[in-house]
Amino acid sequence: MLTRDFIEDSLYNPSYGYFSKHATIFNPGDPFDFNSIQSDKDFHELLGQRYMDFEDKIDDENPDDNRQLWHTPTELFRPYYGEAIARYLVANYKLTVFPYDDLIIYEMGAGNGTMMRNIMDYIRDFEPEVYQRTKYRIIEISSSLAGLQELTKKLGGHAGHVEILNRSVFDWNEYVSAPCFFLALEVFDNFAHDEIRYNPYTEGPLQGGVLIDNDGEFFEYYEQPEFIPTRLMQFFDVLQKYFPAHKLVASDFNKLPSPIKGINAPIVQTRYQRKNVTVTTPFVHQGYFDIFFPSDFTVMEDIYRAITGKLTKVSTHRDFLERWAWIEETTTANGENPMLEWYKNAMVLTTI
């Protein structure tokens, strides 16, 4: 089994995959009132308390020492983070195809559906003319998360504008000729990678093996492994083949402190009794470990341009939000801004 196939199976198998059966996305409850929070430190403490309250409530109904709980910037900074994305989408829609085409948005891997609701709420409240022409389609591989997204769209009153497609984007076979935006937010890190090693003499990529000397001794002769984003390349193939008029908005980690040796190595971790446990290999019990990779945005940009022929812009997470968010909404009383300060190891790639 190829490394990428093992990772794909571990994360997405419908019967036992991490995202299919074991992952729970943290919901902090009411949005944080950052202006009334004294500092970033106080926000961190408040977040920790809400984490505890959230998991206590779940444990009252279904105790589980192995619950896999994690969060995203969409949840922590809602609705402000989603509204920043909405402003970007609306501004670029108006500059390009409005009023001749509808605003069509695809989101891959939408979690609880929070980004969808925040974007649709913003467009409905501030851009009613655009809202009437907005179609939002979520492509979600996890049946359990697709169910949560169905509930979110109904609670937000957007049922007539939102469609949930419970399928893998890699199984997509429908040609979409209309201009559209494609959101891929914090999903590339969970794309499966292949693992290669190099002959230190020829520098050619090799499969695993050993050298045996005349005395029968074994010697490993490879450099540290390199993890290459083959699944990401296949995703760009899908965009080029089936969504030729798309504009991509992608955000993810560009650096991760992995204990695994090798270039572009992933973090592999699970949770046990509410504590993170990190291991040093991706070859672990399927379904119980999150496996997530950093994205080399320079390489990503080159691959995307080569496959799609489109031009791109790469920004830091902070630069993107400073342009499109109302940052005063996430500023604490002492002037700190958690939405800008957190996720310093994230970048944003957009089609221009």
The C-alpha R_g of the chain, in whole angstroms, comes to 21
Q: Please state, in angstroms and rounded to a whole number, the distance separating the CA atoms of residues 225 and 140.
A: 31
**CA neighbor of 142 nearest in space, from 176, 167, 177:** 167
Q: Which residues contact 90 (CB under 8 A, 6 or more apart)?
A: 103, 123, 127, 130
Per-residue pLDDT tens listing for the chain (352 residues): 888 899 999 999 999 999 988 788 999 999 999 999 999 999 999 999 999 999 999 999 989 888 889 889 999 999 999 999 999 999 999 999 999 999 999 999 999 999 999 999 999 999 999 999 999 999 999 999 999 999 999 999 999 999 999 999 999 999 999 999 999 999 999 999 988 877 777 777 765 444 657 887 756 455 667 889 999 999 999 999 999 999 999 999 999 999 998 889 999 999 999 899 999 988 888 899 999 999 999 999 999 999 999 999 999 999 999 999 999 999 999 999 999 999 999 999 999 9
Question: How far apart are alpha carbons 340 and 324 in whole angstroms?
Answer: 12
pLDDT at residue number 216? 72
For 318, residues 6+ apart whose C-beta sits below 8 A from its C-beta are 340, 344
- pLDDT, residue 223, reads 60
Phi-psi region of 21 (alpha: psi -120 to 50; beta: other; left: phi over 0): alpha
Return the pLDDT at 193. 94
Q: What is the pLDDT of residue 208?
A: 41
Cβ-Cβ contacts under 8 Å for 56 (sequence gap 6 or more): none
CATH class of 3-193+229-351: alpha beta
User: Against a cut of 0.85, is the pTM above it?
Assistant: yes
Q: How far apart are CA 266 and CA 281, in angstroms?
A: 9
Asked if residues 82 and 115 have their Cβ atoms less than 8 Å apart, the reply is yes
The CATH 3.40.50.12710 domain(s) of the chain lie at 3-193+229-351
Per-residue pLDDT at 285: 86
pLDDT number for residue 220 = 46
CB 162 within 8 A of CB 130: no
Which residue, among 159, 306, 305, has the nearest Cα to 314 in the 3D structure?
A: 305
